[in-house]
Homo-oligomer: A and B are copies of this chain.
Amino acid sequence: MIEKVKKTIEKFKLLNKGEKVLLGVSGGADSIALTHVMHRLKGEYDISLHIAHLNHMLRGEEAERDAQFVSAFAEKMGIDCTVGYADVALLAEREKLSLEEAARKARYEFLTGTAEKIGASKIAVGHHADDRAETLLLHLLRGTGPEGLEGIRPKYKNIIRPLIKVTREEIEIYCSEHNLSFVWDSTNEEVIFTRNKIRHQLLPMLKDYNPNIIEALNRTAEILLFENEYMDVETRKVFKEAVISEKDGQKLKLRLEKFLPLHTALQRRLIRYCYTLITGIEEGLEYKHVERVREFIFEGSTGKKIDLPGGAAAYKTYGSVVFFKENFDLNREGVKYHRKIAVPGTTVIPEAGAVIKTEILSAEEVGNEYFFFTSRKGIYGL
């Protein structure tokens, strides 16, 4: 397994010399194996490590047990560790997200915040080949385009996935060979989320069609990753030629004389790229919306406007289509407020639409380090 990880690190240039790497560790087999492997490779790649664990506060005592487990593991490995807390259930309710989405959001905000705090330039997470196959299927079932089919990228911004080529089976074998114990996430076993259903129902069934289904899906993801990368490069090229940015990028003016001759594939990519730039929504626009924009471009008359999801819109002027974000409230971004926080207790901050709950825990309960984390959008208590 370590050879596969090294190959992945080199192929996708995941590490630079002297870097500090934050390891996202849930305590499951994958992140425990990741930590162990990265620790072994520390000298070879001249990196330093730090562990981060987020308690999602979803599973009470079990979650506490996991946090304790990760702290103890970190100490045994001689790696510094930060433990954080996020009330995922509350976050899900407030932002109308599924528990899984809320957990992911909280986790990534926590990891990014911690990395910044400790000065880590990379965040390594334990996603592996099975995860990638599951993600591909998840997106396929929703009717995604090529971006969804690349599954999970080996590298995205400063997040790296050294285990992306390794299967769950290989990870479990690695753990047993190195006597690594790990915790078992009970939510994983229940078929409550689509992803878990894919893992426990669909993928085992697909093995009947192809015993090497994980490898097959990962191969597809890998091919599409590079094709997407190429299309991204092309899209940025035509963006430079066809789009004029106005008002600090808050308005994007698409010049039709440059747009119309483009291949349909590039037109679609360019519309989605403009949309992402305007809204900050990385997942981009759904196919039906992209096609609606294209129809609008081809058939809409000057002066007309169409609404797009996420508060974006586009209107037509002579020779161009302008994308912008509606109701973009500059003031809101700049709101400043001070509030005394009750410890222990509940503090409501209406300006941020947030509720902060606090309680006092002993150092043993919390683990290696006390971590307080908040964000304008999320609600993170202690």
Inter-subunit contact A143/B215 (CB<8 Å): yes
0/1 string, A163-203, CB within 8 A of B gives 1: 00000000000000000000000000000001001100010
Partner of A209, one of B144, B202, B229, B266: B202
Interface residue? A313 (CB, 8 A): no
CA distance A227 to B149 in the complex (A): 13
0/1 string, A229-240, CB within 8 A of B gives 1: 111011000000
Given A229-B265, A233-B263, A265-B229, residue A140 in contact with residue B197 (CB < 8 A)? no
Inter-subunit contact B223/A263 (CB<8 Å): no
State the main secondary structure of chain A at its contact with B: helix
List the B side residues contacting A142 at CB < 8 Å. 210, 216
Interface residue? A224 (CB, 8 A): yes
Interface residue? A305 (CB, 8 A): no
CA distance A108 to B226 in the complex (A): 34
Interface residue? A206 (CB, 8 A): yes
Q: What is the minimal beta-carbon distance from A223 to any residue of chain B, in angstroms?
A: 4
CA distance A231 to B144 in the complex (A): 19
CA distance A231 to B205 in the complex (A): 33
CA distance A371 to B327 in the complex (A): 70
Interface residue? A213 (CB, 8 A): yes
Interface residue? A217 (CB, 8 A): yes
Contact-size category for A: 35 or more
Partner of A140, one of B140, B226, B266: B140
Inter-subunit contact B143/A210 (CB<8 Å): yes
Inter-subunit contact A263/B206 (CB<8 Å): no
Partner of A223, one of B216, B229, B268: B268
Inter-subunit contact A287/B144 (CB<8 Å): no
List the B side residues contacting A263 at CB < 8 Å. 226, 229-230, 233
CA distance A266 to B233 in the complex (A): 12
Inter-subunit contact A226/B141 (CB<8 Å): no
Inter-subunit contact A141/B233 (CB<8 Å): no
Inter-subunit contact B209/A145 (CB<8 Å): no
- A250-295 with Cβ < 8 A to chain B: 263-266, 268, 287
Partner of A219, one of B143, B198, B206, B215: B143
Interface residue? A245 (CB, 8 A): no
Partner of A146, one of B213, B227, B287: B227
In this complex, what residue of B is CB-closest to A210?
A: B141
In this complex, what residue of B is CB-closest to A194?
A: B209
